[in-house]
Structures are given as structure tokens and as C-alpha cells.
Chain A
């Protein structure tokens, strides 16, 4: 069974740091792009970051560039999101998700997010 399980959320003060983890099982972690998606209380879904495991390609939304770092450990089948300089507006449930993608003639094509974890809650407050 394909499964994603997030952990590491909690309460942190503004300006603080937190690292989220996502342990995956049931598929070859190194073969997939992975994403972090967040959802603020009562709000919609918002993409945060993407990573291609075996090449280290990484993409971030503008508001987290320079503050968040996405990474992966293939040996541990784990995805991470290191969050620094946290702000109140970063308060959200953070989901890790597997990317459905294709590769053709040297280009990647990104289709959608086909498996999601249950999420980990991050609250930034003093």
C-alpha cells in the first residue's frame, strides 16, 4: 500500500524554526518528484515546494524562498521541509504529496499530485 506519513509539526514562535518529515512506503521514493502543500485554517490549498530526489532539483513558492528548504533522504525513504524565520502566515496544515509526472525527450511533464499524506499542523504564534 502506498502511504505518506508526516510528522514534526507543533507550536513555534515567530522567527523560529521547525523541520517536518514525511516517511513514504509502498513505492520507489527515488523515482518520484515530491511536493509539500499547505492549507491555512479555513483556507484553500497552496503549493509550497517540489523536489526531484535523484537530481536535487528544487522549486519553491515565492513567499518561502530563502526561508524553507526541501530535501530528501532516499535511504530513509523520507522527505523533509526545513522551515526557518517562521511567520504567523505560515500557520497551516502541511501535506506531503507524490507527484504524477512523465519524462519525454529530455523534459519533465507534471501531471498532478496523486497520493497525499494526512498532514502535520504548524502553528506560528507567540
Chain B
């Protein structure tokens, strides 16, 4: 059971917009930044969104992040086949003094 709650799966057709939610609590998302990671099969996680809504250089502006209260969301617009991957949200947890993650959302491009 993950501390942060994400839907286990999401899907969309090419060109569509998909949103992945991430729910936490005051000890994590409510008081700290949210990071989003993309993990392609057999590879290490890659930072997609940092500090709630910032994109690293090289990440397309089709990807955007937002946070409100104890929840966050990742939006992917103009869906492409190469976006098929697992997506994880993460935040620092003040109670655990460590990182907490969502269980991951497997995105399928139909």
C-alpha cells in the first residue's frame, strides 16, 4: 500500500489529453514539493516534473504538473505512442523523514 495514491492505469488515443492524479496528506504533498517521474520499460526513472510544475530542459511542454492542497496531477496533452510508460508521483514526508511514492500509473496509448 503506497503512501501516495495514484490510479493504477490510464489510457488515451494519440492526440488526446490525459490526466493522472496523485493524492497524499498534510505530512507530504500538503507541505512539500511534488516530483513526477517517467519510467520506460527496463530503464531508470526520469524526472518529468520537478517542484510541482517545473519542466527540466528536454521535457516537451506537452507535459505539465500542478498541485493543490494535498493533491497533485500530471497532464499530458497531444498524447504520443512514445508516452507509454509508468508514471510515479513523489514527495518528501515529514513524518517518515523520507521519500514517499505513488504506486505508479501505467499509461497505455491506444
Binding site for B on A (CB under 8 A): 35, 37, 44-47, 50, 59-61, 95, 100, 109-119
Contacts and interface: CB of A to CB of B under 8 A. Distances in A.
Interface string B25-36: 000000011110
Q: Size range of the interface on B?
A: 20 to 34
A47 to B, nearest CB: 4
Secondary structure call for the B interface: strand
Given A111-B32, A111-B92, A112-B33, 10 more contacts: A44-B101, A44-B102, A47-B101, A60-B98, A110-B92, A112-B51, A112-B90, A113-B47, A114-B35, A118-B43
Contacts of A95: 44-45
Contacts of B2: 44
A7 to B, nearest CB: 14
